[in-house]
Amino acid sequence: MLLDDLWDLCEKMNADVVMMWEHMSCKALTGMHGMFEEQGRARGIHVMWVSHDLCDPRVFTRQAIRDQVNNYMRTVMREEPLDPSLENIPDNEAY
């Protein structure tokens, strides 16, 4: 099962945080969202959901994705960046 495989991998890698990509145009895992959260909490593993849209990168820009990760790290993990200047990166020449 998908969840069992995830937790097995976390155990093998000694991971305490899992980043889940939530594609806005696909609702395939919507019903399992709560199961990831509940089982992660029971195992002491943080589950960070990051929204994106593969079909239209204008919906969630690269900066918007970085902002979601930065916000999670600040609010949930209570961490601050070692170099705050790296939080905003110009993406105008990114491919």
Q: For residues 32 and 45, give the distance between their C-alpha atoms in angstroms, rounded to a whole number.
A: 16
Selection from 91, 50, 85 nearest residue 67 by Cα: 50
pLDDT at 75: 96
| pTM (2 d.p.) | 0.81
Q: For residues 31 and 66, give the distance between their C-alpha atoms in angstroms, rounded to a whole number.
A: 26
Question: For the chain (length 95 residues), average pLDDT per consecutive 10?
Answer: 92 95 79 90 95 84 92 95 90 71
Cβ-proximal residues to 41 (8 Å cutoff; 6+ apart), any chain: 47
pLDDT at 32: 85
Q: What are the domain boundaries of the chain?
A: 2-79
